[in-house]
Structure 1
Amino acid sequence: MPRPPARPRLTILDVARDAGVSKTSVSRYFGPERSLLSESMRTRIEASISRLGFYPDRIASSLRGRRTGLIGMLVADMRNPFTVAMIHGAEQACRARGYSLVVCNTDSDDLLEQRHLDVLQGYNVEGLVVNTRGHSVAPLVARFEAGLPMVMVDRHLPGLACDMVGLDNAQAMHLAMTHLAEQGYRKVLMVTPPIPGISSREERTACFESEALLSGLESELFEVDLDNEPARLGERLAGWLDEAPACRGAILTGNGVVNLAVCQALHQLMPAPLERTGLLGIDELEWCALVGPGISTVEQPVGAMGEEAIIRLLTRIEGDAEAPVHRTFEATLNVRGSTARVD
């Protein structure tokens, strides 16, 4: 039996006729100018799109010299709670402004990062948000210098003179160390992921050490690769639980992933470990209020960072050529039982 002839592809003009609006209005609906349409017009266009089963051909639009309405994002680890919250903030900002966000996870693999970068550019993304390890800078620099707008989140890369959005690490560390000193702690062990090449970790650990001096606290920095040497963490924490009561010790974790690993290791070593050591984590996660007496945290406004990254990027897409802007956000302190006062 012969196959029935394929239906001709629907066009924006078909949607416009069905909705009783102009072709220009439908084009605006699918682009960054959606906010110019009245609510009633958007509702009519949405109803026609649903009724007809229409979807725009983004690639064809870009080949005709029109904007695609696509924003790309490269992230190092999609499992990281920081990344999840940042993506959510960025996606909401894109949606509100008529853009779609295309996220690629590199798994901290430089070759995969290069492949994703090629794919995103093949789809003619209008701009790129980057939160990767930064071990492969040259391809990013080449595309940025060729005219692709970029914004970095939580770090900056040497040679890439683009906007950056992140935490005010000096303020965050001051908040953390001042709190621990006021609670009577005298020694702080900071547990951090590998530092070299990650500017935010370099800044955070440098501020940790300087704030320890200012607060009169003894400090120790413990760097651990949780993917490749998890046993080292348990070994160091076992020794720390012996030391902590005598030195009035507290642990400061460098991010949410480390905070979870430290909590798991401590509870494997003994019941009620937070009776022997203080614990303060960078990043506020839902489970922090549920563990033991509750874990105190220094909270980053990660969703707002993701939103700001998109706002900065759209400013560049619209042609803003001012010098690179570094937008930092202040942290807030959530005090719980894990940093109860010690005497």
Structure 2
Amino acid sequence: MPPTTRATLIEVANVANTSKTSVSRYFGPERHKLSPALQARIKQAADALHYQPNLMARGLKGGGSRLLGMLVADIRNPFSVAIVHGVEVAARKHGYALIVCNTDNDPSLEQRHLASLAAYQVEGLVVNAAGQPQQLLQTIMRSGLPLVLIDREVGEISAPVIGLDNELAIDMALNHLSHQGYRCVLYVSEAPEQASARQERLQRFQQQSASLGLDNAILTSLEEQEAIPALRDFIQKNQGVPCAVLCANGNATLAMTRCFQHLEVAIGEVGLIGIDELDWCELVPPGITTLAQPTDAIGSAAVTYLLLQTLPSKAAKEVQHHHPPVLIPRGSTQLIGPSAHLSP
């Protein structure tokens, strides 16, 4: 049975017949300075006592907490889940644990979580911002804490933004639709005001759809009372013209799939493509074409940049900031007939 009280570092040292300093080294970045035999004794003692090092205490003493903090705007968003996984895997590879805080897209909760993560003595911070916590992030950066932004810019903060190459994603989507024979595209996004990535994608869509000679329409709401009539009007206006819907993220893809079903529009008769690969996209007949974000690569780059921020600036610039998506073509963009004809 495990002991009812938490074992201490001194108790581990006594059982291992070594010094407190050696045990501290074993659980820190200087383990390599100990002989293999001493490492084995300390491990055996720690396992027997069910000892867990107090990382917080170590951080407060200046030894480094080996903790990284991460703030996500909405943990229920599949993109957020995938990015957290990518960051956690990379952090673990470098010997760090990850503390994750979810803001539920609440800027006031975001402020409180940022303050808490700073108090936890994390050694680096990855932020997927919900609002614009510019002042607090500037204070954190002035304290010397390494900071990386994921997907979204925050005001005038000079920290790197690591994420998808948004312009390339839109270019790939529109080129694919154009090549497949679609001539009119409805772009669907959540309200873009608070997210720089949404703004970049929308602006690029407007530029490139015009450049390719595609008629276009824009919807910036996922609420059914707005999205359903907007989709119906788009299809009716373009009867006889091959038309498609381009979704700016996974939430938009899900919302529009529901609208297709509500209006009894066959996916594929009207094209459907979305940024973000979701598990269910291949399961909805005939399969939804997506542009998958390389979330593991993005997460790895974020952690790498945190660790490089203590090195000369030249080294830090070697990290890739903008990552290309991967096109996964499926039946939803294989033009199989004229646009659906809906009754008014």
The alignment-based identity, stated in percent, is: 41
- Answering whether residue 106 of structure 2 is matched by residue 112 of structure 1, we say no
**Deviation string, structure 1 residues 237-294 (Cα, Å, up to 9, x no partner):** 2223434542211000010111111112211221x52143100010011111110100
Q: Using a 3 Å threshold, how does the CA distance of structure 1 residues 258 and 182 change in structure 2: closer, same or farther?
A: same
Gaps of 5+ in 2: 338-344
Q: Using a 3 Å threshold, how does the CA distance of structure 1 residues 245 and 41 change in structure 2: closer, same or farther?
A: farther
Equivalent in 243, 251, 265 of residue 249 of structure 1: 243
Q: Supply the AA of the counterpart residue of 1:138.
A: Q
How many residue pairs are counted as aligned between the two chains?
333
Equivalent in 225, 228, 233 of residue 234 of structure 1: 228
- Answering whether residue 213 of structure 2 is matched by residue 216 of structure 1, we say yes
- Answering whether residue 52 of structure 2 is matched by residue 73 of structure 1, we say no
CA RMSD in angstroms comes to: 2.8
Equivalent in 117, 121, 125 of residue 118 of structure 2: 121
Q: Using a 3 Å threshold, how does the CA distance of structure 1 residues 303 and 102 change in structure 2: closer, same or farther?
A: same
Q: What does 1:114-193 align with in structure 2 at a 5 Å threshold?
A: 114-193=111-190
Q: Which residue of 1 aligns with 2:340?
A: none
In structure 2, distance between residues paired with 1:41 and 1:241 = 73
**Deviation string, structure 1 residues 45-67 (Cα, Å, up to 9, x no partner):** 55543321111222322222221
In structure 1, distance between residues paired with 2:243 and 2:31 = 55
Q: Which residue of 2 aligns with 1:289?
A: 282
Shift in Å, 1:19: 5.5
Equivalent in 330, 335, 340 of residue 336 of structure 1: 330
- Answering whether residue 307 of structure 2 is matched by residue 314 of structure 1, we say yes
- Answering whether residue 55 of structure 2 is matched by residue 62 of structure 1, we say no
In structure 2, distance between residues paired with 1:30 and 1:195 = 46
**Deviation string, structure 1 residues 143-175 (Cα, Å, up to 9, x no partner):** 112222100011222221112211111211111
- Answering whether residue 252 of structure 2 is matched by residue 278 of structure 1, we say no
Conserved 8 A contact 1:252-1:279: yes
In structure 2, distance between residues paired with 1:157 and 1:124 = 22
Q: Supply the AA of the counterpart residue of 1:264.
A: R
Q: Using a 3 Å threshold, how does the CA distance of structure 1 residues 30 and 277 change in structure 2: closer, same or farther?
A: farther
**Deviation string, structure 1 residues 90-136 (Cα, Å, up to 9, x no partner):** 11111111111001111111111111111111111111100012333
- Answering whether residue 259 of structure 2 is matched by residue 265 of structure 1, we say yes
Normalised to the residue count of structure 2, the TM-score between the two structures is 0.87
In structure 2, distance between residues paired with 1:315 and 1:74 = 20
Conserved 8 A contact 2:91-2:303: yes
- RCO higher in structure (CA 8 A, sep ≥6): 1
Q: Which residue of 2 aligns with 1:198?
A: 195
Conserved 8 A contact 1:33-1:97: no
Normalised to the residue count of structure 1, the TM-score between the two structures is 0.87
| Greater Cα offset, 235-244 or 137-146 | 235-244
Q: Using a 3 Å threshold, how does the CA distance of structure 1 residues 162 and 237 change in structure 2: closer, same or farther?
A: same
Conserved 8 A contact 1:297-1:335: yes
Shift in Å, 1:16: 4.9
